[in-house]
Structure 1
C-alpha cells in the first residue's frame, strides 16, 4: 500500500508541474483511478486542465504570522492545520502556499521538498485578499463546506485567501460527496500514510537544520539502536503560563523499568519532554547512554522568557530524532510524538504509555489506544457533538 501511495504522490507532483506549464493557474486534478487506462487518465487530465484554462491564479495560504498577533499553537497543531489547508486548496482548485514566520521563518529550518509552498507578498499585487481565523471551534464557519460538500470557492471569494486552522479533518473529508473523484488518495490510504507522504512532499530539513541534527545527534550516536520517549508533564518553570493543561500524567516508573531492561550496549536513549526535571532524571539514571539536544525547553507558541528561535530549533530537532527512533514511547494526548510516528519509516517499535502500563502499538493502532488527542477518533467525535449541539 505504501508503494502505491508513493506512486500517487509522484503522479501528483508530475501533474502539478504539467498544469503549471499548461495553464494560467495551478490546479491539482484528481489522481488516476487504478482501473483507468492511460488514455482515460490523459483525457481526464486534459478535460480538467482545459476547463480552468485562462482563469486568474488564485491561492489558499496557511497563515501563521506575527502580523496577525494571534496564537498558532504548537508544532502538531500547525502541521494538522497545514494538512487541512492543503486539502482545501485541492478541493478549491487553488495554489497552496505557507506563510509562516512565528517564532521564525519556517523556510530557514525546513524547505520545500518536491513542491514550492513558499509565500511571497508579490502575489498580492492587483489581487484581492482576505484572512480567515478558523482555529478551534471557529472551523464551524466553513462547516457546510468542510463536511457538506459545498464549493469552497463560495466561501473563499478572494484571489488570495489566508487562513489559520489547527485541526486534522482527514476522516471528515472522506465523507464529502465525490471525494473519491476529487482526491482519490484520501479515500484509499490510512491517515498516517497520508501524513507521511504529504509531509515528505512538502518538507525537508534545511542545510542549517541538517547541520544542527548532525552536530547534536548523529555524531553523538555510539550504538546501533536508539530508544526514545516523549513525556509531557505540563509543570515546567520555563513555561509557567501553560500550566498542567488538564493533561493526564502517566506513571514514569513503567517507562524507567522498560529502559532499565534494554541492553545498554545496544541502545542509545533519548527523552523529549516539556519538563527539565524528567530530562535531568534520565541523564542521571543513564549517564552513558542519554543523548540530548541543546537549548532550553520552549513552547514555540508561548516562549515566555526563552529565546523563541532557539526553542524552535530544539523542538524541531527533537521531532526529527523521535521520527528516527527504533523504539518510540508515546504518552496520552501527545500530537507531537504521534506526528513523529506518522512520518517514521518503521511501522512497529511503538509503545503507547497508559496510566500504569506500556502497550505495544503501531502507527496504525496508536490513535485507537490513545484516542484523545489531536489526531484521535474520540476527539473528532467530541467536535462533531459540539457542532450538533451548539
Structure 2
C-alpha cells in the first residue's frame, strides 16, 4: 500500500531540513529521481544539469568519494544516453578526468547523486585510484610535450647559437679602421657568418666605426648583437684578413678552431669565402644549405637572415618604392664609381661618362615615363646628371664619401647616403654597374635576376648576368 500524499510531503520536508542545517546553499530538486536497472539509467525531472552521451564519453571515468571514504559514483564502459546529476551533500571529488565545461552549475554547489548499486569492493577502489594516477601522468606528459619548451615555436638554428654554444664566439669586428667600404664589410660579414655556422660558434657583429651600425640596420632572424657580459673572463684575439687571398684559399681545408683556439675570435676580412669553404669536407654537413649555391644566392640569403632596415632607412627608401608601387614608372639606375684619391684605385674616369649619358637618353626615348637614379661617389657626377636630365633624376641627400676614409664631420649623413644609395639599387628595373665595384655587384645579387642588368666594361655598356658578375668577382678577388 502506497504511503499517503501527506506522509510523502512530511518525509520530503524532513530531508530538506537535515540538509539545510549543514549546507543551506544546496537545493534538492524534489521532482528528480534516478532509477538504475542493469546498464540503463533513466532520469525523470527537468530541473537538473543534464549532459549528453557524447559529453559523458568525453568525461571518461568520474569517481567521487564521500567524506567517509566510501565510493560515490563511477560511470565507465557503456554509458546511458543521458546522465542526470543533482545535488547531494557530503560528496568529495577525488579524480575528474575529461571535459567539464559542459556543466552549467556552480562548481561550489555541484555534487553528484550516489549510485547505491555500484560495487564498492577494494578492487574497484584500486582501479579508480590507478586511473587517477594515470590521468595525472598523462597530464604531465601532455604538458611536457605540448606546453613545455619542446612545443614552443622554434627559432632558426642560427638564432639560438648563443644558447647552444655559449662558450665560443665569432665576431665580425669593425671597431676601428681599416674595414673597407660598405660592400667590403658585407662581404666580410658573409664569410664570418658562414665560418660561425660551420664551427658552431655564436655569431655576432660589432661595427662601431665610424658610427654604430645598429642605428641603420637591425637584427632580423639572427641575434647578432653582443652581450659584453658574456665575454668577460674569456680568451680573446683579433685577426685581420683584409685583402688576404691566402686566407680565403685556406678555407678549403682549414680546421678553424685549431688555428683560432680562443673563446672569442674577432675577425675582419673583406671577401666572400664561400667558394672555398664549401669545399671543406670537415664542415660539409654544417654548410649543407649553402652547398652548390651561387655566390648571389648565398649572399642574398645570409643578408636577409641578418638584417632588416631601421625605420628611418625605410623612410629614406620610400621615394623609390613609391615610384615602383604607386606611380608604376620604370626606374633606370646607373652606378658610377669614380674612386677618390685616398682609395688609390680608379674605376670609371670622368672622360668615360659619355656612354652612361647615352644609355640613359636611349631609355628615355624608348619609354618616356622613366625616372633616373645615379648612385655615385662623385658630387660632380650628380650635378652633371641633374643638368642633363633635370626632374627625372632622383637624388639622395648627403655627401658622397667613402665611409672608411671620410674626413667630414657629418659622419652620420655620409653613412645614411651610402646605405640609401646601396639599397636603392636593389629596386631598379634597369641597373648599370661599374666594373670591379662590389658596391654595385652586391645590390645586383640582392636584386636576384638577370633581366635589365648591364655592366660598364671596356669603355662601353653591355648586357651581363649574375653568373658573369660572379665569375668576374671570383677571378679578381678570391681565386
- Structure 1 position 123, deviation (Å): 1.9
Equivalent in the alignment of 1:316: 419
Residue 289 of structure 2 is aligned with which of 163, 179, 185?
Answer: 185
Residues 67-106 of structure 1 aligned to structure 2 (within 5 Å): 70-106=177-213
Equivalent in the alignment of 2:312: 208
Residues 247-286 of structure 1 aligned to structure 2 (within 5 Å): 247=347, 249=349, 251-263=352-364, 265-286=368-389
Matched, 1:228 2:370: no
Q: Deviations over 1:178-219 (max 9, x none)?
A: 4432311332211101111110010110112112222x5445
Check 1:17–1:306 CA distance in 2 against 1; reply closer, same or farther (3 A cut). closer
SS of match in other structure, 1:136:
coil
SS of match in other structure, 2:275:
helix
Equivalent in the alignment of 1:62: 172
Equivalent in the alignment of 2:469: 366
- Structure 1 position 309, deviation (Å): 1.4
- Structure 1 position 227, deviation (Å): 0.4
2-structure distance, mates of 1:206, 1:97: 18
**Which entry has the higher C-alpha Rg, 1 or 2?**
2
Check 1:13–1:257 CA distance in 2 against 1; reply closer, same or farther (3 A cut). farther
Q: Deviations over 1:123-168 (max 9, x none)?
A: 212322111122123x646864x222x3211122121111111112
Equivalent in the alignment of 2:236: 129
- Structure 1 position 296, deviation (Å): 1.0
Q: Specify which structure has the bigger relative contact order, considering alpha-carbon pairs within 8 angstroms and separated by 6 or more residues.
A: 1
How high is the TM-score relative to the length of structure 1? 0.76
Contact 1:179 1:187 in 2 (8 A): no
Contact 1:296 1:306 in 2 (8 A): no
Contact 2:240 2:269 in 1 (8 A): yes
2-structure distance, mates of 1:284, 1:338: 27
Check 1:378–1:132 CA distance in 2 against 1; reply closer, same or farther (3 A cut). closer
Equivalent in the alignment of 1:350: 453
Give structure 2 stretches of 5+ with no counterpart.
1-153
SS of match in other structure, 2:396:
coil
Contact 1:77 1:167 in 2 (8 A): yes
SS of match in other structure, 1:132:
strand
Give structure 1 stretches of 5+ with no counterpart.
1-11, 27-55, 382-390
Equivalent in the alignment of 1:168: 272
Check 1:224–1:184 CA distance in 2 against 1; reply closer, same or farther (3 A cut). same
Query: For this pair of structures, how many residues does the alignment match?
Result: 322
2-structure distance, mates of 1:182, 1:378: 28
Check 1:178–1:272 CA distance in 2 against 1; reply closer, same or farther (3 A cut). same
SS of match in other structure, 1:185:
helix
Check 1:287–1:95 CA distance in 2 against 1; reply closer, same or farther (3 A cut). same
Equivalent in the alignment of 2:41: none
- Structure 1 position 233, deviation (Å): 1.6
Check 1:292–1:61 CA distance in 2 against 1; reply closer, same or farther (3 A cut). same
Contact 1:80 1:166 in 2 (8 A): yes
2-structure distance, mates of 1:158, 1:302: 31
SS of match in other structure, 1:79:
helix
1-structure distance, mates of 2:247, 2:451: 39
- Structure 1 position 120, deviation (Å): 2.8
Over aligned residue pairs, what C-alpha RMSD do you find? 2.5
Check 1:19–1:353 CA distance in 2 against 1; reply closer, same or farther (3 A cut). closer
Contact 1:91 1:152 in 2 (8 A): no
SS of match in other structure, 1:181:
coil
2-structure distance, mates of 1:268, 1:208: 23
- Structure 1 position 251, deviation (Å): 2.7
More strand as a share of residues: 2
2-structure distance, mates of 1:184, 1:155: 23
Q: Deviations over 1:249-305 (max 9, x none)?
A: 483222211111123632110001111111111111110200000011111001123
Equivalent in the alignment of 2:298: 194
How high is the TM-score relative to the length of structure 2? 0.63
Matched, 1:293 2:396: yes
Equivalent in the alignment of 1:119: 226
2-structure distance, mates of 1:142, 1:358: 31
